[in-house]
Amino acid sequence: MCKWLMVVVTIALDLLILAASPSFAEQTKDPEIEQALTDARQASDELGGKVRGLLLREIEKGGFANAVRVCSEVAQGITLRFNEHKGHHTRRVSLRYRNPKNFPDPFEQRKLGEFDRWNREKKLADEYIEVVKEGEQEYLRYMKPLIVQPVCIACHGPRENIPAKVKLILEEKYPEDRATVFLVGDVRGAISVKIRLPR
């Protein structure tokens, strides 16, 4: 009986906290946040589309080994040029990264850990948005989870399933590679967008 009462009190307190704090939907009535969210979604879709398109073209032209080689040489350049053009900080991040440049910052690490848990619980959404304060400045943080698809397994799956040519290139380009042993449906990482709010 006592446990039941504690559960009811806990739920009531949680609901009270939720009612007292403004939801993200309410925050987006702010036109600056609405615009930043629109920009973040567009940036995420465009960067994801560019990198995915590059990989698929290279797989068609020369197989997975060719895609890994080109990705190692071109993907970071695409990201840099994209950010220069858009003026936002957009990149791919992962807890199990291949390129050390994709190492997540503390905010991204926390979210990626949550994505893994939510994915296991079948509660993972398509995108996550928060407004955070760093010093005196506010930023919109946007993250879109990247889920392992069947085509990803040839480069990111269990080591025994990765073709020998791909393994050789990975060992050459990424001697400290952490981005293998994924299964279809796992969270591979995320596209992360950080936009300074003009306040």
pLDDT tens sequence across 37-63? 999 999 999 889 988 898 899 899 888
Is pLDDT of 113 > 50? yes
Q: What is the pLDDT of residue 26?
A: 55
pLDDT tens sequence across 143-154? 999 999 999 999
Is pLDDT of 136 > 80? yes
Is pLDDT of 182 > 80? yes
Q: What is the pLDDT of residue 80?
A: 82
Q: What is the pLDDT of residue 66?
A: 83
Residue 4: band (very low, low, confident or very high) from pLDDT cuts 50, 70, 90: very low
- Mean pLDDT across the chain, nearest whole number? 84
Higher-scoring residue by pLDDT: 199, 165: 165
Residue 139: band (very low, low, confident or very high) from pLDDT cuts 50, 70, 90: very high
Residue 186: band (very low, low, confident or very high) from pLDDT cuts 50, 70, 90: very high
Q: Domain ranges for the chain, please list them.
A: 27-196
CB 165 within 8 A of CB 90: no
Q: What is the pLDDT of residue 82?
A: 77
How far is the C-alpha of 60 from the C-alpha of 198, rounded, in Å?
43
